[in-house]
Structure 1
């Protein structure tokens, strides 16, 4: 097992609290190495397929941001953990039109908006009492046929459409780059997403663009080097999925 793999997969004898502490240390080290402030990035715990009891343990260890991929599973966890004040739910799974209402009603963030139809339906379904839904636009930064996401050249038009929707608050971009074990190769797509993000900030200085959702358990350091503000970690916190 490589050093990178060992950092991505916690020892199964460790508790969730142990791995949360280790992840905080790893994030602090990555930010320091990149010359960035200690509070310039946060961890989103990817909790798909994990039981609510593990999320509760993570919450009690100070982890309050959770990312879910599967709607019905997420809704069940939300009901089980409704007593946890301050927990924040992010939807990070593929999003079909028939899911938009429940997602808009039960999540604070959506990271996987990749077309105007989905953006519009989320905006229309968002209860006004909750305020605008925070969204990231998913970019197919590695141009993989197997991945969702808007192509980079189509991003500016989607940004304009999202900014015009009253039920949304466009916060930034998200990507799931092609996998690589080479740290230098990992940095390439992250740098490309950062360049797109920087261009959007210049074009839309009044928009609340502040989020780059990129980097996972195996490439967190490369993502932090290139400006990630939110890293999505599942295996490094909860262990391998069953």
Structure 2
């Protein structure tokens, strides 16, 4: 479903130039649950942003469902994001003056094939908080709201940048259980950028980046269920 070939990205020019992605290549099948790991500054978030059309690569090719997604026009990029992508970030990015329900509704209205909003909020355990504003929600509730907002469009690909990085171990476990359930129920292809190696144990595929290069591309034939992992002490892992 996702094919990346020889992706390169450099920030800055001349003496200040820093190459953050170096000849990155990999392929993921539909429904894959993939962790992207590595030290800070290794290019993980840049890779995710390029896959999501938020940044452009200097060279290389990305195809999704056989169609190229590099070099698209603004209109084509918007269509690609709307039809294929959902985003989940570490710090939620909820609109502060909208309720939880309204935050999700905004994205539901972008899709012609959306999931049932009420059913989704109930599945995520936040229906009873639907009329609260983000400031009235706990961190775990805000992240569930952000997940619902990403999922309500029924995206084919879910891009997650440190989705549990600001959560304690209990909420980390809950969020990972939700993501695995989504992956299995909807065959959603999920890519998670993380510093938490425990997340790798739940993944079908692990890509490890160091200094902008993939140094490990590992398949996990027997991923663990998140509920079977002891997440104690995992919060703040870097």
Tell me the TM-score normalised to structure 1 length. 0.31
Task: Give the helix-richer structure, 1 or 2.
Answer: 1
Q: Which has the higher contact order (CA 8 A, sep 6+)?
A: 2
